[in-house]
Amino acid sequence: MSVEIKVPQLGESISVATIAKWLKQPGEHVEMDEAVVELETDKVSVEVAAPQAGALGNHLVSEGDEVEVGAILTTIEAGGSKPVAAPTAPKSVEPPKVLEVEAQITETHQPMPAARKMMEEKQIAASQIGHGTGKDGRITRDDVVNFVAGGGSKPAVANVAAVSTRRDDPREERVKMTRLRRTIARRLKDAQETAAMLTTFNEVNMSAVMKLRSQYKDAFNKKHEGARLGFMSFFVKATISALQEYPAINAQIDGEDVIYRNFVNMGIAVGGPNGLVVPVLRDADQMSFADIESNIIGFAQKAKNNQLKLDDLSGGTFSITNGGIYGSLMSTPIINMPQSGILGMHAIKDRPIAENGQVVIRPMMYLALSYDHRIVDGKEAVSFLVHIKDRIEHPERLLLDV
């Protein structure tokens, strides 16, 4: 019995993915729930598994192609054998408007399925867009979106075309950016262009937290299986306390309105094989130290194994990133839009400071808060960091909620 393998639901507001890599070839035997193809979306990579054991059919789409939710990727035949010939993908009967669009498409500028659909809706010809950014010059959905956003007055890939005329040095290697990396680049640029972004700094003495952690980490780890007492839970707790005191930093702008939240969904930036991702601790304000630590460990493991789901990455209201694990002493983190702020942690370094009229050596960390100045005032931002500094330097205040 033949079963179709389709593009699954990809999560909130995501309808298109790119075929990143075929993991199984036509005729190859696959087990039930074994991954056969890897899709790449704007946020994360997704593996599509076989719904039953059997022989894989022909690939109906190629690596680099864009596909929409519900599109057929291949089939799987229970007990089947390797196909003798590779049949072409079945063509459905299309309305005249589709045929008119296809008539305008040259062999070298063929749009991908998602791009073709949008071109039909917008009544745009392939010749208007020109050379696409997809594989072999194919027009992608992003090309159409950019063309429409630019008023349709010029090809959306003018800059790409200009870059392609560059004469590469024989010692150089040109590699196309992945969809995820292109999306990261676009979102970071959008954040800079949309938000009135500003960064303020402070420093925190880590002595008290380090002493408390050293004293109780063994008992904590023993009692809470799957959790290890680290510094991040202290900063999450301190940040939640500060967000409750200064709610504008946990809010977002929506048109001419400000949306204030009575909850905290904390994004925690972690490094994965395809770049930085920000999984979300939902209702972090209701979590214990152990809950926070175990969830962060789980996210880090998922990111390492490329197993994060789209739901893991959506709905954040504020984010924390820790460049200190890579040795960063100070940085200006970029806001994860549409959030209004992000806290940057950094490396802990022994430094001389003045304490009670004497110069002493203490383990110090620089903190950075990047915030959207459209909604957050400078006084709020500075007070926010001071609040976090105070709770880290006096962790008993976190336990007593004072």
Give the residue numbers annotated as catalytic, written as ranges.
Answer: 373, 377
Q: Which two tokens stand for residue 315?
A: 């709905």
Give residue 55's region: left, alpha or beta (phi > 0; psi -120 to 50): beta
**DSSP secondary structure letter of residue 337:** T
Compute the distance between CA of residue 279 and CA of residue 1 in angstroms, rounded to an integer. Answer: 39
Q: Which two tokens stand for residue 194?
A: 């949309």
Collapse the DSSP code of 73 into the 3-class scheme (helix H, G, I; strand E, B; otherwise coil) and give the result: strand
Contact 41, 14 (CB under 8 A): yes
Partners of residue 275 on adjacent β-strands: 272
E-strand spans in 103-174? Answer: none
Name the burial class of residue 363, with classes exposed (0-12), middle (13-18) and buried (19+) by CB atoms within 10 angstroms of its CB. Answer: middle
* C-alpha dihedral, 211 to 216 to 217 to 223, nearest 10°: -170
Q: Which helix (H) or strand (E) segment is 74 a member of? A: strand 72-77
Compute the distance between CA of residue 83 and CA of residue 56 in angstroms, rounded to an integer. Answer: 9
CA 84 to chain centre: 41
Contact 56, 196 (CB under 8 A): no
Contact 117, 68 (CB under 8 A): yes
Strands 266-268 and 318-322: parallel
C-alpha closest to that of 347 among 362, 327, 369: 327
